[in-house]
């Protein structure tokens, strides 16, 4: 796979020197946020990483190569129609085709690990979808967290998901769910879900120490959950009501698979008059900042 990597010189130098690097996904640009919010947020996330003393590495597939680090022109290409949404199963086929692809959590983790990046910051992970007992719709993110040794910073799982079942699945995969300054699993747009995390950590150094020991034991990934900033957080009951309505619309339209999450997020954003979009951008930037702090702590250790 190393033959398929193309690492920006700044990132390659930082990795060679043992300096902190934070991976960022690209599906937030291609599929997660509307234009121009997507490009503005991607740039703000990279700046938050830099402000935290680390080097940002946004990851995508372009021109038959896994790109570790993107230019502004590269990010703009991801806003064009037809960019594939890449999970673990899609990487090889997209590389072979030469088509552009934006990496989800699972694909970003794989590429980051191959490049030697240990910390990844995103918005919310995928999980067990509501009604999965019938549809078997369970995100590949959960399996990847169990087997790929990367620490993922997120605001929990997306609130459109079945959060109790998502936690159960993470436990089955052996993934430590750490709360960054919180005892409760964040619910993406909301600060608390009412569900407990496995352990609370109150500093980047503590999170880094746990991650380092976890990897010394030969184990996989960790999930570090950072709640959405208070000034952007939304009441959980409101988000649940908007999500239930969006799920009903998705069922009526026959929407399934990869199309479900972007559809639900779009409908919920409309129902909230854009408040969920503001929360989403705020938590993405906040998680990039935490990712930089943890990467810096790991570098010091």
- For 24-81, what is each residue's pLDDT tens digit? 999 999 998 999 999 999 999 999 999 999 999 999 999 999 999 999 999 999 999 9
150 CB-contact burial (10 Å; exposed 0-12 / middle 13-18 / buried 19+): buried
Catalytic residue among 6, 10, 17, 25: 25
Please determine, for residue 131, whether its predicted confidence score (pLDDT) is greater than 90. Answer: no
Cross-strand bridge partners of residue 125: 157
Name every residue whose Cβ is closer than 8 Å to that of residue 224 and which is 6 or more positions away in sequence.
151, 152, 153, 154, 178, 180, 201, 207, 290, 294
Helix (H) or strand (E) holding 164: helix 163-172
Taking the model in full, what pTM does it have? 0.93
* Angle in degrees, 0-180, between the axes of helices 275-300 and 260-271, rounded to the nearest 10: 120
Shortest CA distance to 154 belongs to which of 111, 198, 189, 116? 189
Shortest CA distance to 215 belongs to which of 128, 298, 96, 99? 298
- For 157-177, what is each residue's pLDDT tens digit? 987 789 999 999 999 999 999
Provide the pLDDT for residue 258. Answer: 67
Given a contact cutoff of 8 angstroms between Cβ atoms, the answer to whether 52 and 293 are in contact is yes
Please determine, for residue 88, whether its predicted confidence score (pLDDT) is greater than 90. Answer: yes
- For 192-205, what is each residue's pLDDT tens digit? 999 999 999 999 99
Helix (H, G, I), strand (E, B), or coil: what is residue 191? coil
258 is in an annotated binding site: no
pLDDT (mean) for 239-264:
83
63 is in an annotated binding site: no
**Which phi and psi angles does 27 have, rounded to 5°?**
-70, -20
Tokens describing residue 12? 């390659």
Cross-strand bridge partners of residue 5: 66
Provide the pLDDT for residue 301. Answer: 86
141 is in an annotated binding site: yes
Answer yes or no: 25 catalytic.
yes
105 is in an annotated binding site: yes
Catalytic residue among 80, 158, 168, 289: 158
Provide the pLDDT for residue 292. Answer: 98
- For 271-300, what is each residue's pLDDT tens digit? 999 899 999 999 999 999 999 999 999 999
Please determine, for residue 9, whether its predicted confidence score (pLDDT) is greater than 80. Answer: yes
Answer yes or no: 289 catalytic.
no
Domains of the chain from N-terminus onward: 2-300 (3.40.1790.10)
256 is in an annotated binding site: no
Shortest CA distance to 125 belongs to which of 83, 172, 185, 56? 185
CA–CA separation, 173 and 147 (whole Å): 8
- For 204-235, what is each residue's pLDDT tens digit? 999 999 999 999 999 999 999 999 999 999 99
Provide the pLDDT for residue 1. Answer: 65
Provide the pLDDT for residue 256. Answer: 76
**Which phi and psi angles does 69 have, rounded to 5°?**
105, 130
Given a contact cutoff of 8 angstroms between Cβ atoms, the answer to whether 107 and 258 are in contact is no
CA–CA separation, 247 and 259 (whole Å): 12
Helix (H) or strand (E) holding 60: strand 55-62
Chain mean pLDDT for the chain:
94
pLDDT (mean) for 3-15:
96
């Amino acid at each position: 796979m190393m033959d398929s990597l193309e690492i920006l010189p700044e990132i390659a130098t930082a990795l060679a020197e043992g300096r902190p690097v934070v991976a960022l996904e690209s599906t937030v640009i291609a599929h997660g946020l509307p234009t121009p919010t997507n490009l503005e947020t991607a740039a703000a996330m990279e700046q938050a990483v830099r402000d935290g003393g680390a080097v940002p590495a946004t990851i995508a597939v372009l021109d038959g190569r896994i790109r570790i680090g993107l230019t502004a022109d590269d990010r703009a290409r991801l806003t064009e129609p037809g960019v594939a949404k890449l999970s673990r199963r899609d990487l090889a086929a997209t590389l072979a085709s030469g088509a552009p692809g934006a990496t989800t959590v699972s694909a970003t983790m794989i590429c980051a690990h191959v490049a030697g990046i240990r910390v990844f910051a995103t918005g919310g992970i995928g999980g067990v979808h509501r009604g999965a007992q019938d549809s078997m719709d369970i995100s590949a993110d959960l399996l990847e967290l169990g087997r790929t040794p990367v620490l993922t910073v997120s605001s929990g799982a997306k609130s459109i998901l079945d959060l109790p079942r998502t936690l159960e699945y993470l436990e089955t995969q052996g993934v430590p769910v750490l709360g960054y300054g919180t005892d409760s699993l964040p619910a993406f747009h909301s600060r608390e879900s009412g569900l407990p995390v496995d352990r609370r950590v109150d500093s980047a150094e503590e999170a880094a120490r746990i991650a380092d020991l976890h990897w010394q034991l030969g184990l996989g990934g960790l999930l570090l959950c950072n709640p959405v900033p208070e000034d952007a957080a939304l009441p959980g009951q409101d988000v649940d009501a908007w999500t239930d309505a969006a799920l009903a619309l998705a069922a009526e339209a026959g929407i399934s698979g990869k199309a479900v999450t972007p559809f639900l997020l779009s409908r919920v954003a409309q129902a909230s008059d854009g408040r969920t979009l503001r929360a989403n951008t705020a938590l993405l930037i906040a998680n990039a900042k935490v990712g930089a702090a943890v990467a810096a702590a790991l570098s010091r250790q």
